[in-house]
Amino acid sequence: MAAPRVLVLRAPGTNCDVETAWIFDRCGGQADRVHLYRLLESPELLRDYQILCIPGGFSYGDDVGAGVIFGAQLRSHLADVIGEFLTEDKLALGICNGFQVLMKSRILPGGGEAWPPKAEEPADATLTWNVNGRYTCRWVKMTVPENPSVFLRGITEIELPMAHAEGRIAVASDEVLARWRTRRQIALAYDPNDNPNGSVAHIAGLCDPTGRVLGLMPHPERFIQATQHPQWTRRRETHDPAGEGAGVKLFRNAVEYFG
């Protein structure tokens, strides 16, 4: 079977597209780094891909809010082709700024069932400023609640680096959170005693109800080799320094979904 094609969609300010494409390739995919302007010129290009990934960075400098401009372009100019993609048996991943884009465009939390969003209906959740009011960069431990995410299959807990200023999930009401729990959309959760941004219910990632769309704030593409962990020298007895980092499994799961 041919390798699944991965569109790593970048924009001005994106800075994690190279390593994201690299790990998709290493896991058996065929990744192309495509600029958003190219997709705006030829929206039909998206039909050639099985996986869409919006990587981390600072798209448009986060000038009017993280992911706002990128998300608005997906919603306003690519609504039809995005809607087609979301209703097919394909996968979408948003990492850090990519998660912000998925939320601001309102691809998440509903995925294809709620796309395109009605302009007159306000969003019931968003990603906003960390409670400490500043950019925070460090490693975090997370658990994986029961959920249908393709990307998280076989993972019950994971440790990854995070680096963001606007990573706090905020909801309009308790009913929103209850709905996510009922539909098993909470994909990743920070340790309750170590929530780095104050996100409601300690949420670090969300998936859509089908499990085919995932957004997360920490960076799996930054832990693809064991030596990238800051404590790798202390873990030699239990972790092979020449081995893989924990982030690899998310990308391999996505590629193997099409195997």
The yes-or-no answer on residue 96 being catalytic is yes
Exactly one of 96, 202, 207, 229 is catalytic; name it. Answer: 96
Query: Residue 199: what residue type?
Result: S
User: Nearest-CA neighbor of 204 among 32, 195, 152, 82?
Assistant: 195
Phi, psi dihedrals of residue 145, rounded to the nearest 5°: -60, 165
Task: Give 61's DSSP letter.
Answer: G
The yes-or-no answer on residue 16 being catalytic is no
| 66 vs 138: CA distance, rounded Å | 19
The yes-or-no answer on residue 175 being catalytic is no
Please answer whether residues 38 and 79 qualify as being in contact, where contact means their C-beta atoms are separated by less than 8 angstroms.
no
Please answer whether residues 149 and 111 qualify as being in contact, where contact means their C-beta atoms are separated by less than 8 angstroms.
no
Strand partners, 162: 138
Q: What are the structure tokens assigned to 37, written together? A: 């302007």
Q: Which residues have a Cβ under 8 Å from the Cβ of 204 and sit 6 or more positions away?
A: 140, 142, 162, 187, 188, 189, 190, 216, 217, 218
Please answer whether residues 51 and 24 qualify as being in contact, where contact means their C-beta atoms are separated by less than 8 angstroms.
yes
Exactly one of 16, 27, 164, 219 is catalytic; name it. Answer: 219
168 three-class SS: strand
Please answer whether residues 73 and 89 qualify as being in contact, where contact means their C-beta atoms are separated by less than 8 angstroms.
no
Give me the active site residues, please.
96, 219, 221
